[in-house]
Structure 1
């Protein structure tokens, strides 16, 4: 009877540990943010200056609008076609620090205009010590690269309607590229971010070993 009770307790422990190992949490991420804006008259959707890529041709000191640090997971949205400003898109700069503006930029800088007449390109650089995955809904283009911008992990770089895109990363440093084109709505929103709880996998291993020993003892009896 005691062995049976121990077996049940061991199974319950493992089940609880598995639940902890797959717990969801929003990581406290810190991003280095760089923003470029430029007029792109007569542009078409497939042009190089309309792509969320590190090869976008608007990248350069003359088009640099802002640099900043952002803490949290981006949940940025602006549905106002008439304004579509940096402040409106980023929740009035909530979560930002160390913002520096260039070339006359400000929170009132317009990100894009209809007809692909102007665009804004965001680069968000981050380092993570944990593997995690999730979904990003973006309007317009989104891509995910390694730190050196030599390996594409996710490529949804063309301007789109609001599109949910899944991503997954291992520990390391990465660059997110986001492009806002053709006027609002603008969206860069992370959801379903899944991060293993620290130490839970070690507990899972301990629980499985303990359950194995109990099963072995019961078999001998």
Structure 2
């Protein structure tokens, strides 16, 4: 009887662990109103057949043409080394006034405890692009309670890298990239944004030692 109870406890623990660390790669596009689409990897609306990549093609409100793709593991990174990559082309129609589009990429089940993250972005826009990144120690998709980085960019061309400490990070956790695009009337925006851990000091030390070794080796060969 005790063995049965112990086995059930182990099975329950494993199932709970699998539930909290499940892979939930998804993208979401919305104009902030009634026009919203959420597409999970290999779910309804995903035109990309690969696991670890999700792609949406269609319109969202005043944005008449959108092609958006998000990548995560197993294509990019691993649960222990998270990497989110979000790329999108978004074109708004000729309607007057200010038109906004919000583009999100999220994934869950990350287990690598890193002291900080780097958010990089590059692109073009006929309006503005606000790029924000978040982590959630509750491992909830699209959770935006704990801000990592945030920056506003103006077109026509922009490129930047921001880093932030991940204070309060606990595993497993989720990561989310959030882009707010603003056009006035007709406009087009194209960007690629990536979120990944900041290499620890030991990584830089190993890299520097390796480069130094190569330099010394090269000098010795040149003298020989």
TM-score when scaled to structure 2? 0.40
TM-score when scaled to structure 1? 0.41
If you compute each CA radius of gyration, which structure gives the higher value, 1 or 2? 1
RCO higher in structure (CA 8 A, sep ≥6): 1
Q: Which has the higher helix share?
A: 1
